[in-house]
C-alpha cells in the first residue's frame, strides 16, 4: 500500500477501546445520542457489556463489524490549518438533564462549529468519566463531548479532556452545582447561563479522525476533533470528583 496521509496514519492507530479496557469500564458512561435505540438494553457489564452489544439487537451490528469505530487511542496530534475547525458559541441558559447515562447540557439554538467550511449546530454537550478516548494510552479524569449536527444529520463531535488541577474552571461550577443526582427530565436552571466556549483549552492542537458513535448503534461517519491540551477543572482532592460521576455510576453498579 502507498504512503499514508496524516489522517490515515491516525486511523491506523484505531483501537477498539472496548477490547483494550475490557473490565475497566465500570465508571464509563454512554453517549446520549443513542437513547432512541434500545437505550435501556445495553450497558457496560454482564450480558449487556460492550462485547455483547452487537448481539443485543440487529441495529447494533456495527458495534462488532464496524471498521471505523470510536473511541481510539490518540497518538499523533494533527495540527489543523488555522481555521479548519472553528467555533461560534453563544452564552445560553443552563438546561440540564441526567438521562441515566450522563449529565448533559442541552444547547440553545445558534451556537455552531465549522469544519473545513461546513457548519454544524451545537446540539448538546455531556461528560464521560473517565475519558473515552485515550491520550497516548492513558485515560483522563473527564472528557466533554460537544455534539454538533448539520441539516443532513451528519455529526461532528468536539472533545475536550479535563483533569484535576490547581486552577478551577469557573464555567463548570454552575453545571456541577445544579447537576441532578438521579435521572429525570430536562430542567432549566433559573437565572443561570453557561458559556461553553470557556470550557475549551486555548491551544488549538487537536486530533481529528472519522469514527463512530461510542455507544450502540455505533453508527459510523462521525467526525471527531479532540483537543490535545488537557483542561484543568478544579483543585485535586476528594472534592474533585464531579457530581456527574454519580450519574455515571447509575449504569455501572
- Under the rule (CB under 5 A), what is the footprint of Zn ion? 31, 145
C-beta of 79 vs 216, nearer to Zn ion: 216
* Rounded Cα gap, residues 62 and 217, in angstroms: 7
Vertex 200 angle, CA 197 and 206, to 5°: 130
CB of 15 to Zn ion, least distance (A): 17
C-beta of 17 vs 145, nearer to Zn ion: 145
Closest CA to 78 of 146, 6, 143: 6
C-beta of 124 vs 236, nearer to Zn ion: 124
C-beta of 37 vs 192, nearer to Zn ion: 37
User: In angstroms, how far is the first alpha carbon of the chain from the final one?
Assistant: 46
C-beta of 145 vs 248, nearer to Zn ion: 145
CB of 214 to Zn ion, least distance (A): 6
CB of 243 to Zn ion, least distance (A): 17
Tell me the three cell numbers of residue 227: 483537543
Closest CA to 113 of 197, 170, 193: 197
CB of 137 to Zn ion, least distance (A): 20
Tell me the three cell numbers of residue 115: 469544519
Closest CA to 164 of 242, 91, 225, 88: 242
CB of 30 to Zn ion, least distance (A): 8
* Rounded Cα gap, residues 91 and 194, in angstroms: 6
Amino acid at each position: 500500500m502507498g504512503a499514508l496521509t496524516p489522517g490515515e496514519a491516525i486511523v491506523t492507530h484505531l483501537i477498539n477501546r472496548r477490547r483494550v479496557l475490557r473490565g475497566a469500564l465500570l465508571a464509563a458512561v454512554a453517549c446520549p445520542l443513542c437513547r432512541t435505540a434500545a437505550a435501556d438494553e445495553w450497558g457496560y457489564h454482564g450480558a449487556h457489556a460492550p462485547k455483547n452489544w452487537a448481539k443485543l439487537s440487529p441495529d447494533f451490528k456495527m458495534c462488532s463489524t464496524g471498521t471505523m469505530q470510536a473511541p481510539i487511542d490518540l497518538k499523533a496530534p494533527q495540527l489543523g490549518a488555522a481555521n479548519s475547525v472553528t467555533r461560534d458559541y453563544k452564552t445560553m441558559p443552563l438546561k440540564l438533564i441526567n438521562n441515566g447515562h450522563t449529565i448533559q447540557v442541552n444547547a440553545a439554538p445558534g451556537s455552531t462549529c465549522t469544519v473545513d467550511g461546513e457548519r454544524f449546530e451545537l446540539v448538546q454537550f455531556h461528560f464521560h468519566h473517565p475519558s473515552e478516548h485515550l491520550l497516548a494510552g492513558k485515560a483522563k479524569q473527564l472528557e466533554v463531548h460537544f455534539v454538533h449536527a448539520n441539516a443532513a444529520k451528519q455529526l461532528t463531535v468536539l472533545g475536550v479532556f479535563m483533569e484535576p488541577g490547581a486552577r478551577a474552571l469557573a464555567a463548570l461550577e454552575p453545571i456541577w452545582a445544579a447537576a441532578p443526582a438521579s435521572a429525570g427530565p430536562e430542567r432549566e436552571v433559573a437565572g443561570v447561563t453557561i458559556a461553553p466556549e470557556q470550557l475549551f483549552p486555548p491551544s488549538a492542537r487537536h486530533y481529528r479522525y472519522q469514527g463512530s458513535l461510542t455507544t450502540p448503534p455505533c453508527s459510523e461517519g462521525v467526525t471527531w476533533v479532540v483537543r490535545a491540551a488537557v483542561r484543568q477543572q478544579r483543585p485535586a482532592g476528594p472534592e474533585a470528583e464531579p457530581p456527574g460521576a454519580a450519574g455515571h455510576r447509575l449504569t455501572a453498579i
